[in-house]
Amino acid sequence: MHHPRSISAIVRLRIAALLLLVICLLVPLALGLLIGSIVTSNFQLTVAGSSLLLVSVVLIMPQWAAGASTGCPLCWTPVLAPKSCTKHRSAKTLLGSHRLRVAMAILVKNQFRCPYCNEPTSLELHNMLHRPTNRWARLD
């Protein structure tokens, strides 16, 4: 199991995963509201759907920026960036998306499996796992 090298790498992974999940939830909701506004001829639904669609479009740029700096600790490929690289043959998807599966794993399980090298990564610092809790403890 691999581990990120810094707290900032873990924070970047979580922020990019959260932004990706919000975008993936806002777009269908906005489209549903827009379709509902067409069916019912409701202007308030049109405004709500359009504003949600605008918010999701605005969130795409920060997600791309945060996702570009979320590299796998082993292969250094950004796991939450929109890349068209070849995925590992055993890489699984969630609703047809490798990035969405990685984002959900980061937010729910606090670990993920890289879709490019298929190696597991735990979101804990490696150097903190093997450090004794009491610095002055004697080792007998």
Helical (H) or strand (E) element with 113: strand 111-113
Cβ neighbors of 80 (< 8 A, separation 6 or more) are 13, 16, 17, 20, 63, 66, 67, 70, 99, 102, 103
Distance CA 13, CA 7 (A): 10
**What 3-state DSSP class applies to 26?**
helix
pLDDT bin (cut points 50, 70, 90) of residue 13 is very high
Phi/psi of residue 8, nearest 5 degrees: -65, -35
- As beta bridge partners, residue 71 has 78
Distance CA 34, CA 132 (A): 56
Say if residue 130's pLDDT is above 90.
no
16-55 pLDDT, tens digit each: 999 999 999 999 999 999 999 999 989 999 999 999 999 9
67-113 pLDDT, tens digit each: 888 888 888 889 998 888 888 898 898 888 889 999 999 999 999 99
